[in-house]
Amino acid sequence: MSNKVFCIGELLIDFIGKDINKGLAQGTNFEKKAGGAPANVAASICKLGGEAYFMGQVGNDAFGTFLVDTLEKVNINTEMVVKSGYTTLAFVAIDENGERDFEFHRGSDGMYEFSSIDTAKISKDDIIHFGSATGFLEGKLKDTYFKLLKYANENNMFVSFDPNYRDALISDDMLDSVVEDYKKFISVSDFVKLSDEEIMLITKEERLEDGVKILHEIGAKTVAVTLGSKGTLISSNGQMNIIPSIKIKQVDSTGAGDAFVGGVLKQVAQMQDKKNISMEQWETIITYANKVGAITCTNYGAIDSMPTEKELQ
């Protein structure tokens, strides 16, 4: 018996510059890819044989059609996806100095309303995952995040949270407010996944273990910190351990963290008592998820590179 995972957040087009060291101004060749961390998490779950819904808004345009088709090809349920307005677009390239050149053109992803969520389809045994690269930018989506979090907590549901902090999206004057919003979600989350940079940003602690301790004090029940080739630090039930990953030849790390989260949630969805997972069980879950994330790095393109259950054998 496996419960469903409901992933809410952004689904957008990433235009990847293919001209080396020309940046956005001089580049002429761009490759269109489906982007958005929570959509990637849903894709990972479904490719591994789980069941996931994506909740978000795309444009009523050709890009929106492409994105919804991309999700449906990997069996993500898109019944709660709204098509209205224009699709959010992100452009990224490498400039002549080897630096990332980024522009963000926000469309309708921020207009997603709570009324678009059919709560009758959500069981108290299901999981709600909040991936938030654009979730705490101003707009209706932010309001929907908080309403859905309240709904999940009132129904004692398993809540998963990944800040997905992107410095290019958060201006300096917004940062303190966004970090406070992160803390509100962390305080009631059963599973929080972060990078080591995000821990420092949120807790201001240089030492990883001290930062994790603060997250638990805020309210996080289980914390996972992805450490790239070193594996993942998992902290739960007063215990902390680093679970190594498998050795791979890395090609592209895009979507690896999202694939990892999908690997975690696919397994948690199969558990009867999601609120009382032992450290031993978490270590098994993380070992599996590390493998999912690592294999995703061995090819190009997030969703295309994510492994199926068969490919993990």
Each residue's pLDDT tens digit, 126-136: 999 999 899 99
Q: What pLDDT, on the 0 to 100 scale, is given for residue 313?
A: 80
Coil, strand or helix at 230: helix
Checking if the pLDDT of 7 tops 90, the result is yes
Task: Kindly report, residue by residue over 249-295, the tens digit of the pLDDT.
Answer: 888 788 899 999 999 999 999 999 999 999 999 999 999 999 999 99
To the nearest 5 percent, what fractions of the chain are helix, strand and coil? 40, 20, 35
| Contacts of residue 207, Cβ cutoff 8 Å, sequence gap at least 6 | none
Task: Kindly report, residue by residue over 153-180, the tens digit of the pLDDT.
Answer: 999 999 999 999 998 899 999 999 999 9
Task: Kindly report, residue by residue over 183-193, the tens digit of the pLDDT.
Answer: 999 999 999 99
Task: Kindly report, residue by residue over 36-51, the tens digit of the pLDDT.
Answer: 999 999 999 999 999 9
What is the pLDDT averaged over residues 241-254? 88
In sequence order, which ranges of 52-171 are alpha helices (DSSP H)? 62-73, 140-154
Task: Kindly report, residue by residue over 78-111, the tens digit of the pLDDT.
Answer: 999 999 999 999 998 888 887 778 899 999 999 9
Q: How confident is the model at residue 1 (pLDDT cuts 50, 70, 90)?
A: low
